[in-house]
Structure 1
Amino acid sequence: MNYQTKAIQTLRHPLSLVISAIALLTGSCTVPEPKLNEPIAAQPTTSAIATNNATNKAIDKKPTPTGFKKVTVVKDLERPWGMAWLPDGAILITERVGRVKILRNGLLEEIVIANIPNLFVSGQAGLMDISLHPDFEQNNWVYLTYSSGDFQSNHTSILRAKFDGKALVEPKVIFEVKPSKSGNQHFGSRIVWRPDQTMLVAIGDGGNPPLELNGELIRKQAQKLDSQLGKVLRLKDDGSIPSDNPFAKNTNANPAIWSYGHRNIQGLFADPLSQQVWSTEHGARGGDELNLIEAGKNYGWPVVSFSQEYIGGQISTETSRPDMVDPQLVWTPAIAPSGLMVYRGDRFPEWKGNLFAGGLVSKDVIRIKIEANKTAIQETIPIGQRVRDVRQGKDGFIYILTDEQAGQLIRLEPM
């Protein structure tokens, strides 16, 4: 199997977008069973991108020097969502239905969780991301994001617990997103850590039309500074709010906000080397975005967007404003991005510094080379299943979680 050429255009294809939207909203689609441990010869692909000035340009071709193979590490995970590496190399994996499993020495076991208060599992709702405290070896703290409540009233919550080697104990909800909303869409909710040991947490805008809050479409919450919906939040490790957040001294804004104008970020990565924060964000019908996140900035949703309504028509006539940040890259048709990382390992030296973005609808991983904060090259790695998360393991390999009823953990290795 070779790299597949992917057209990434601002021209929209209605039929493919309808199919993509249905798959994204229902959280399910039928896919062929991939061949396991299949070698792949890496070859270049050509794409068109929307750059940070919202114009299109063709990107350069560049061959990848080496090939790689896909190795299926684990099968039959039920809708896995996030993963985190313990110091000993074991992997903690969340399943959206409310389970945490551990892969250690080739064996997969379920971890006992003392309690996940008021867990809500429906549609996109459930147990989501998992992250270790930067000082995990001293405090054993593990952080989980999940949907709390019921269909009529719910929100994203952050749970902190201690891992004692066999179970997650002493659970404590340290943060609950406000306001609460209804429905089962757009919760976010990735966690990444800054060098100062504060965390950034991505929170969705609440859902699609006709869902409303206070008499207007809920997606408008993304532009409201008194709401935590449609935001990236910055918190301390105990869930409290840092006093130096960009809106902390604004009496009309919520002090937890780090950035705003987001639809639904499910890929977030804080690069410890460059200290840049990258995100991938779901559009509606097309208009998925790659963004470079900076404190206090407005990323436009839904005032500016490349997306269209699911029922047809433009969400906005504008794709750019001088007081809002343009995306680094736009995908139309939608890939439904989830999972994001910058590769810093030694197993694929030619990929160092490249971004890797998972695609739920596109069922692939997209490698993106960045030069001077601009996207320069894109290549697709076909997976054949909905990609929910992409991470670099402690061993330097690339690990991929697939969001299926019988999901898989797949490892990319050099050939």
Structure 2
Amino acid sequence: MRSILLATATLVVTSLPVAGQPAQRLRTEKAEIIVETVAGGLNHPWGLAFLPDGRMLVTEKPGRLRIVSAEGEISPPIAKTPQPSIQFLDVALDPNFSENQLVYLTYVEPRGGGLATAAGRGRLSTTGTTLEGFEVIFRQQPASPIEDHFGSRLAFTPDSKLFISTGDRDEPDSAQDLSTHMGKLVRVNRDGSVPADNPFVHRAGVRPEIWSYGHRNIEGLAVQPGTGVLWAGEFGPTGGDEINIPKPGGNYGWPLVSWGDHTDGRVIPRPPTRPDLTDAIYHWTPSVSFSGMTFYTGAAFPAWHGNLLLAGLASQALIRLTLAGARVTGEERIPMDARIRHVAQGQDGLLYLLTDEDQGRILRFKPGG
């Protein structure tokens, strides 16, 4: 479906606040919103997970994990996180966190003269100051010297399987190579072992963790409420950002086909030319460059219930998609005047956004009317 037929625009009434300034208002198609700055001074915050008491675990790209309270109090960096690491990326809680206190992280690991996406888990101490017993549960193979396209979102499905996204590391052909984890969506058990029903588990020469392939750089994962189905969003090259519903063993085409072209101007065949490959359910050209995403299920914005929300980087927007089953029926772009790295729903039903800046902020959306 061509997104430009559905795209709409929304006016920002006032500029976004900075820490210590009054909240501001946004008028959108379906809701009037108050935007508050919960916290500032975070160095390129990337991942966000809510603890049961409403506090937030937040990763910063330079390799820090912090706890932020609902009032905006920021903890010192949590100790005993994976080292060495050149970047921290996503964070998620174990489905049984209330019993085991396990926290999962993805990060960029130096290895053998190169870099690779890795995932691990540790137990958050009762004081919230350390991540005890951290263990690596997944390492992308192989490492690459290229410092780009790490993917790295985490999502648990209702059966407690863990999905980890990886990028093609700016080596496009690797996305079609099943002997590597590059450009793949990976599915593992909570301890990193391989589920017996993964699609390639018995195929020689194939990485058994692979769920789907032909992806460029997945930075958005979200499980649809009610269905338990995983949705994924990935960056295109110049145009061709995509939303997919990855199926086991599915080939999503990169770099054989795309709705965008290579950055050096080389034309890529369009998906309809290869019906043997799986096309996106929605795409953008030009790119909106979105990262984290979530389905909204809260009561604070009833007109948004069931909508898919996307955090826009280059587009500097919160993008709201209306859905009918697996079909996108409408799009609204809410300008934010900042690169938005992630969007998540709190237990309070409010929305929390991370801005991708040296002095990054946590923004909170509240009803304004």
TM-score, normalised by the number of residues in structure 1: 0.81
Deviation at 1:132, TM superposition (A): 0.4
Corresponding residue number in structure 2 for 1:396: 349
Corresponding residue number in structure 1 for 2:133: 170
C-alpha spacing 1:299/1:102, structure 2 compared with 1 (3 Å): same
Q: Contact between 1:200 and 1:235, CA under 8 Å: does it hold in 2? A: yes
Corresponding residue number in structure 1 for 2:146: 183
Q: 1:327 aligns with which of 267, 280, 297?
A: 280
Q: 1:99 aligns with which of 64, 68, 83?
A: 64
Q: Contact between 2:229 and 2:245, CA under 8 Å: does it hold in 1? A: yes
Deviation at 1:152, TM superposition (A): 4.3
In structure 1, what residue type is equivalent to 2:270?
A: E
Q: d(CA) in 1 for partners of 2:3 and 2:190?
A: 38
Q: 1:119 aligns with which of 74, 85, 88?
A: 85
Deviation at 1:111, TM superposition (A): 3.5
Corresponding residue number in structure 2 for 1:60: none
Residue 366 in 1 paired to residue 327 in 2?
Answer: no
Q: Contact between 2:17 and 2:37, CA under 8 Å: does it hold in 1? A: no
Corresponding residue number in structure 2 for 1:50: none
> Secondary structure of the equivalent of 2:75?
strand
Corresponding residue number in structure 2 for 1:108: 74
Q: d(CA) in 1 for partners of 2:51 and 2:152?
A: 21
Q: Contact between 2:239 and 2:284, CA under 8 Å: does it hold in 1? A: yes
Deviation at 1:403, TM superposition (A): 0.7
Corresponding residue number in structure 2 for 1:41: 27
Q: 1:224 aligns with which of 177, 185, 210?
A: 177
Q: Contact between 1:34 and 1:383, CA under 8 Å: does it hold in 2? A: yes
Q: d(CA) in 1 for partners of 2:232 and 2:258?
A: 16
In structure 1, what residue type is equivalent to 2:123?
A: K
The alignment yields a C-alpha RMSD, in angstroms, of 1.8
Q: Contact between 2:271 and 2:277, CA under 8 Å: does it hold in 1? A: no
Q: d(CA) in 2 for partners of 1:113 and 1:223?
A: 38
Corresponding residue number in structure 1 for 2:10: none
> Secondary structure of the equivalent of 2:243?
strand
Corresponding residue number in structure 2 for 1:318: 270
Q: d(CA) in 1 for partners of 2:76 and 2:216?
A: 33
C-alpha spacing 1:111/1:144, structure 2 compared with 1 (3 Å): same
> Secondary structure of the equivalent of 2:220?
strand
C-alpha spacing 1:141/1:157, structure 2 compared with 1 (3 Å): same
Q: Contact between 1:145 and 1:159, CA under 8 Å: does it hold in 2? A: yes
Corresponding residue number in structure 1 for 2:328: 375
Residue 138 in 1 paired to residue 120 in 2?
Answer: no
Residue 77 in 1 paired to residue 42 in 2?
Answer: yes
Q: Contact between 1:151 and 1:183, CA under 8 Å: does it hold in 2? A: no
Q: Contact between 1:277 and 1:294, CA under 8 Å: does it hold in 2? A: no
Q: Contact between 1:297 and 1:325, CA under 8 Å: does it hold in 2? A: yes
Q: d(CA) in 2 for partners of 1:328 and 1:180?
A: 31
Deviation at 1:360, TM superposition (A): 0.6
Q: Deviations over 1:304-355 (max 9, x none)?
A: 10121212231x2232322211111111111111011111111111111100
Corresponding residue number in structure 2 for 1:263: 216
TM-score, normalised by the number of residues in structure 2: 0.91
Q: Contact between 2:166 and 2:185, CA under 8 Å: does it hold in 1? A: yes
Q: Deviations over 1:368-404 (max 9, x none)?
A: 0011311101001111111111111111001100111
Q: d(CA) in 2 for partners of 1:254 and 1:392?
A: 34
Corresponding residue number in structure 2 for 1:205: 168
In structure 2, what residue type is equivalent to 1:197?
A: S
C-alpha spacing 1:105/1:375, structure 2 compared with 1 (3 Å): closer
Corresponding residue number in structure 2 for 1:48: none
Q: 1:241 aligns with which of 186, 190, 194?
A: 194
Q: d(CA) in 1 for partners of 2:207 and 2:33?
A: 46
Q: Deviations over 1:106-158 (max 9, x none)?
A: 211123221413212xxxxx100000000001111001000001694111111
Q: Contact between 1:80 and 1:401, CA under 8 Å: does it hold in 2? A: yes
Corresponding residue number in structure 1 for 2:11: none
Q: d(CA) in 2 for partners of 1:67 and 1:404?
A: 26
Q: d(CA) in 2 for partners of 1:302 and 1:132?
A: 33
Corresponding residue number in structure 1 for 2:257: 304
> Secondary structure of the equivalent of 2:275?
coil
Corresponding residue number in structure 2 for 1:53: none
Q: d(CA) in 1 for partners of 2:54 and 2:332?
A: 29
| Mean CA deviation greater in 228-237 or 273-282 | 273-282
Deviation at 1:8, TM superposition (A): 4.9
> Secondary structure of the equivalent of 1:138?
helix
Gaps of 5+ in 2: 6-13
Q: How many residues align?
A: 351
The residue correspondences of 1:8-19 to structure 2 (distance < 5 A) are 8-9=3-4
